[in-house]
Amino acid sequence: MELRWHGLTPQQAEEWSDGTFFPHLRWEPEIWATLPDVAAELFGWREGDDWAEPQLVMRFPDAEQQWRMQPHVDRLPEWATGRTYRGITGVALTAATARDGAPYVWPGSHRGADSEPMPLTLSPGDALFMHPQLRHSGGLNLGATIRTAIYFRLLKDV
């Protein structure tokens, strides 16, 4: 609805594509309601751990092109001051297939394995739970719609 009501300037699209779209919405109850209840338990949540601010991701349609996917691991926020992630949860808000910008993971990369990227097909509401050192990337979106997701990161207590 935010996009429909307020639009998106080219400057916002550029700035937010490397971070979070609509940063002013990150703490809204509707955003946090998408975080699966089981996430904290799966990552071994302990007293003092904190969820970092959510990342609202939008992958706009791309032009078909030769493109070499570059995997990454998520950077810690500056305010984390030496803390590390316990885990990352991604929640699909729209369908994600290899054609429309699905997330790709490099299986076993968090343990040092060298593997080929694997696309993950997700339906709206599906959750992806990742080790913080798992290499991953978004794919090209060759579909006709915007792929959207929300990512949550659990920070360990010091």
Between CA 51 and CA 49 the distance in angstroms is 7
- pLDDT truncated to tens, each residue of the chain (158 aa)? 565 566 666 676 565 556 677 888 999 999 999 999 999 999 999 999 999 999 999 888 888 888 788 999 998 888 888 899 999 999 999 999 999 889 999 999 999 999 999 999 999 999 999 999 999 999 989 999 999 999 999 999 98
Place of tokens 């343990």: 111
CA dihedral 151, 136, 120, 26 (to 10 degrees): 10
Cα of first residue to Cα of last residue in the chain, in angstroms, is: 38
What is this structure's pTM? 0.87
Burial of 9 by CB count in 10 Å (0-12 exposed, 13-18 middle, 19+ buried)? exposed
Q: Are 51 and 150 in contact (CB under 8 A)?
A: no
Q: List the domain boundaries for the chain.
A: 2-155
Superfamily of domain 2-155: q2cbj1_9rhob like domain (2.60.120.620)
- The alpha carbon of 64 is separated from its chain's Cα centroid by a whole number of angstroms, namely 23
Between CA 136 and CA 132 the distance in angstroms is 10
